[in-house]
Structure 1
């Protein structure tokens, strides 16, 4: 999945995997649950974020992205698929994708 990069390509420079929100399709149409959370060795570290859609583009500017850096998407106007069963409240509170 091109949305997930390892620590060598993490744009934050930190030593952990990173999920680009502008490339993430939340595995809609691919898996029953997000593959990133299934594969992550640390329970609860993958959390829901706001969907990368036109309604939420302002959320992804400034402090909600890495030090205000721009995204690497070809078109910032692109809308990424989102899971309709995840509430906006869960996204805003950064609820873990997989609860134990």
Structure 2
């Protein structure tokens, strides 16, 4: 399951540089996560780094983008060119 950023985002800028896949970018009003690039840090870290640094806890799982750990690992391998 990829992650999403909710309207509670305060645009503090701490999540974007933490994403190893470059999935986080500034949207029109708040930061957004590209679900095609989000692997929940699978392949890089044990925990999603954006969730770890978010001071307002506004990065939950996106229930509309359910993916297993295996699917996230396949996405990681494709993104990093290790597939």
TM-score scaled to structure 1, two decimals?
0.41
Find the structure with the greater CA-based Rg.
1
Higher-RCO chain (CA-CA 8 Å, sequence separation at least 6): 2
